[in-house]
Structure 1
Amino acid sequence: MKLYVGIDVSSKDMKVCLMDQEGETLQRFTVENNLHGASYLRDQIVSCYDQGSFQAVHIGLEATSVYSWHPAMFLHEDRALQARNTKVYTINPKLIRKFKEAYVDLDKNDHVDAWLIADRLRFGRLPLTVVLQEQYVALQRLTRMRYHLVHNLTREKQVFLQHLFYKCSAFTTEVESSVFGNALLELLLEKYTLEEIGSMELDALAQFLREKGKNRFADPECLAKSIQKAARSSYRLSKCVEDSIDLLLGTSIESIRSITAQIKQLDKAIQKLLDGIPNTLQTIPGIGPVFCAGILAEIGDIERFKDQASLAKYAGLSWQKHQSGSFQAEETNMIRTGNRYLRYYLIEAANSVKRNDAEYRAYYQKKYHEVPKHQHKRALVLTARKLVRLVDALLRSNQIYTPGRKVDR
């Protein structure tokens, strides 16, 4: 017989419900969400287990941001609970919300939520226990922060381009070089007016670009001409507006450089941690330390997953089936659940792999030409789904990637 423990977690406290296999509530109580509260909770679980004829303990918590992480890890690693065959589940809140719809007469409060979690544990068929080992947790914190910074960098660059259009409306159409290179950013930081840029000596502007770009431009004179052409072709601003835009451009440039430096620091830390986790994913062409770390951090131990299909579903790279009688829908939608971080890193990795591996490039092209719309997005997601099979096979077998070798479908 199993003892089921449902815990509704908040930043301040935890509402707890202990339930037996018949659905009878054994205890209800509240503890603080700290080390002392978790220790008291552990003692209550052990006492209840020892007084009954239980063979295992299943503990469930909703995945409530960071608040459930500490108690989940504490209960997962506690030796007294380990000796009593304990499993800890962090459950998607959507799963509990859908389960509650079967009970039409329940009120909404924290004690009811704890009871619902315990009852959901009792019904079983939970996807998997998702408490990761410490090295994966540390890696996950870094890769998720990198994900956050990359998206912030994208947004900051979009804001920068908007301000740049005010300053020099023809810049992006006339200048082929990336505006985010060091030389062009330094030029904008100088706060030259469009008249000053347009009337500057061509050799002087080319020399400025050559020095700030560290001689990386193939033809700095040609780039200088295009910049001057853009300056002469752009709309003019009043002095008041131009000064404000120059300030905003400078602020955006500082933000972009700061975020870029932070990402580089994270990449070094990710590489250091990754060195301690043996794997063969980096033998796949196009998968470097960052993509490898992002995938490993979210998967953890591959044995947590039954097969590659369950791994794909966990990542949200799965499609809903729509069938009734003899009818089978040709168009189906992707599921709206799944681990968004794992999905992000798999799709980004697939985009890189297709550029470096002939088999995946051919597969992407095949899927790209199968439909008339959403071609790139669809083909890339399907390529990521194909990559899941390879990732699953390599992690289970611990073998290096061999091009052309078949993996289990």
Structure 2
Amino acid sequence: MNLFVGIDVSSKKLDVCFLDSEDTRLKETTFPNDIHGANQIKENILTFNGQSHYEKIIVGMESTSVYSFHPAHLLDNDADLKRIGVEVVVQNPKAIHRFKGLFEEDKTDKIDAFRIADFLRFGRYNKTIIKEEKYVALQRLTRSRYQVIQQLTECKQHFLENLYYKCNTLTNEVDTSVFGSTMMELFAESFSLDDIAHMELEELAAFLQEKGKGRFRQPEKVAKSIQKAIRDSYRLGKVVQDSIDIVLATYAKLIQTLKKQVKELDKGIESLFDIIPEGQCLKSVPGIGSVYAAGIIAEIGQIDRFETQAQIAKYAGLFWKKSQSGDHESERTPRVMSGNQYLRYYLVEAANSVQRNEPAYREFYLKKYKEVPKFQHKRALVMTARKLVRLVDVLLRNHQLYTPKRSV
């Protein structure tokens, strides 16, 4: 006989259903989502186990943002529950939602808790949560970095959009990044377009060299291309021009701030990453540094949570469903739109870096790139990330360093 405990988590309360292997609801109740409520769940588990001595006890809940973190980790780390072999699992809400869809019933927290316990009773749940504190701490940093990168990307898109209003030919004419501090200051707040256009070439080149701290190899060439872009661009009215300048200045400051935040997070990741021994396994792969390796390890956690590399790929959302009926097998196998977005992001970014540094992966990337006429880079990169999963699994599982194939 087994005991299944389904918990529907919200910010304020925990709706709990205790269900046994024979589909008998032993108890349905509600506790507050705090340390006292979680301890009451623990006491109920110990009481039921004292009465029936269950072979297996599974506690499950959905991954509901930050709300499920504290009850899951408290129950998973409790010494009394460990002693009787309680397993705590956190499930993808999509899997629970699909399971609930099989039944025509109302949507309430009480019913949700029962269906979570019922889902566990079928034994199709995923692996346990990440247990060790070092992985959780690293995960907070790497996930925050991912979110800041998303904000930075969005800010850059808005900056370019508004820059096009001000100088629509700039990105075509100037062979340097518009997101460098010098270029952003030049177009966001320092001068008007006419000021730049009528400035002496030597004066503009000197300004670029001074603000760029000597980083421009050919400042005169850059200055000349900037002035040409300005001459070829449309002119705006003063009212619109003033509003665009304010927007550009705002986004320029945001971009600079977010860049600083990324650097701070990278420092925190690198300092914490040094205490994780398996990190050196991934860093031995050409192109994978501390940040990408930390992002991958933080989401995978203990490698023994996964039986095979295929489970890691599916967890990351690098999985293509097979479609077959009778003698027909579809050649179109779209990637599933689910999985851990953070792990997928770091695997894809790492794969892009590896394919630029490792010949074997570069060859594989180019092969996949040439197979289709559309979305070549995106598809090839995702396929390369799927290939990288196999390498990550081997290195982490065997605690070994990467050794490239010997050239003949």
Structure 2 residue aligned with 1:218: 217
Structure 2 residue aligned with 1:329: 330
1:130 deviates by: 2.5
Structure 1 residue aligned with 2:282: 281
1:55 deviates by: 2.7
Q: What's the secondary structure of 1:258's corresponding residue?
A: helix
1:373 deviates by: 2.3
Structure 2 residue aligned with 1:175: 174
Q: What's the secondary structure of 1:27's corresponding residue?
A: strand
Structure 1 residue aligned with 2:64: 64
Matches within 5 A, 1:250-261: 250-261=249-260
Structure 2 residue aligned with 1:117: 116
Q: What's the secondary structure of 1:89's corresponding residue?
A: strand
Name the CA distance, whole Å, in 2 between partners of 1:14 and 1:190.
53
Letter of the structure 1 residue corresponding to residue 90 of structure 2: T
Q: What's the secondary structure of 2:224's corresponding residue?
A: helix
Name the CA distance, whole Å, in 1 between partners of 2:250 and 2:121.
55
Structure 2 residue aligned with 1:18: 18
Letter of the structure 2 residue corresponding to residue 86 of structure 1: V
The answer as to whether partners of 2:189 and 2:249 remain within 8 angstroms in 1 is: no
Name the CA distance, whole Å, in 2 between partners of 1:369 and 1:170.
32
Name the CA distance, whole Å, in 1 between partners of 2:30 and 2:130.
23
The answer as to whether partners of 1:191 and 1:246 remain within 8 angstroms in 2 is: no
Structure 1 residue aligned with 2:393: 392
Letter of the structure 1 residue corresponding to residue 49 of structure 2: Y
Structure 2 residue aligned with 1:73: 73
The answer as to whether partners of 2:130 and 2:302 remain within 8 angstroms in 1 is: no
1:371 deviates by: 2.1
- What is the Cα-based RMSD across aligned positions, in Å? 1.2
The answer as to whether partners of 2:16 and 2:29 remain within 8 angstroms in 1 is: yes
Structure 2 residue aligned with 1:42: 42
Letter of the structure 1 residue corresponding to residue 312 of structure 2: L
Structure 2 residue aligned with 1:266: 265
Name the CA distance, whole Å, in 1 between partners of 2:101 and 2:225.
63
Deviations 1:97-142 (A, max 9, x none): 22123323x2211111111111111110212123332111111111
Name the CA distance, whole Å, in 2 between partners of 1:374 and 1:175.
27
The answer as to whether partners of 1:88 and 1:131 remain within 8 angstroms in 2 is: no
Structure 2 residue aligned with 1:97: 97
Name the CA distance, whole Å, in 1 between partners of 2:233 and 2:150.
30
Whether 1:349 aligns to 2:350 is: yes
The answer as to whether partners of 2:89 and 2:126 remain within 8 angstroms in 1 is: no
The answer as to whether partners of 1:16 and 1:30 remain within 8 angstroms in 2 is: yes
Whether 1:316 aligns to 2:317 is: yes
1:305 deviates by: 0.5
Structure 2 residue aligned with 1:6: 6
Report the TM-score, using the length of structure 2 for normalisation.
Answer: 0.97
Name the CA distance, whole Å, in 2 between partners of 1:203 and 1:211.
12
Q: What's the secondary structure of 1:217's corresponding residue?
A: coil
Deviations 1:290-339 (A, max 9, x none): 11011001100111101111111111111101112222222211122211
Letter of the structure 1 residue corresponding to residue 72 of structure 2: A
Moved more, 393-402 or 180-189: 180-189
Q: What's the secondary structure of 1:373's corresponding residue?
A: coil
1:341 deviates by: 1.0
Structure 2 residue aligned with 1:295: 296
Letter of the structure 2 residue corresponding to residue 364 of structure 1: Y
Deviations 1:198-237 (A, max 9, x none): 1111111111100111111110011111111112222112
Structure 2 residue aligned with 1:206: 205
Question: Does the C-alpha gap of structure 1 residues 190 and 97 become closer, same or farther in structure 2, counting only changes over 3 Å?
Answer: closer
The answer as to whether partners of 1:89 and 1:131 remain within 8 angstroms in 2 is: no
Q: What's the secondary structure of 1:179's corresponding residue?
A: coil
Name the CA distance, whole Å, in 2 between partners of 1:223 and 1:334.
43
The answer as to whether partners of 1:8 and 1:114 remain within 8 angstroms in 2 is: yes
Q: What's the secondary structure of 1:7's corresponding residue?
A: strand
1:374 deviates by: 2.2
Q: What's the secondary structure of 2:103's corresponding residue?
A: coil
Name the CA distance, whole Å, in 1 between partners of 2:126 and 2:77.
21
Q: Which runs of 5+ in 2 are unaligned?
A: none
Letter of the structure 2 residue corresponding to residue 88 of structure 1: V
Letter of the structure 1 residue corresponding to residue 86 of structure 2: T
Letter of the structure 2 residue corresponding to residue 315 of structure 1: A
Letter of the structure 2 residue corresponding to residue 371 of structure 1: V
The answer as to whether partners of 1:76 and 1:131 remain within 8 angstroms in 2 is: no
The answer as to whether partners of 1:283 and 1:401 remain within 8 angstroms in 2 is: yes
Report the TM-score, using the length of structure 1 for normalisation.
Answer: 0.96
Structure 1 runs, 4 residues or longer, greater than 4 Å off: none
The answer as to whether partners of 1:72 and 1:131 remain within 8 angstroms in 2 is: no
**Matched-pair identity in %:** 54
The answer as to whether partners of 2:6 and 2:17 remain within 8 angstroms in 1 is: yes
Name the CA distance, whole Å, in 1 between partners of 2:123 and 2:142.
31
Structure 1 residue aligned with 2:55: 55
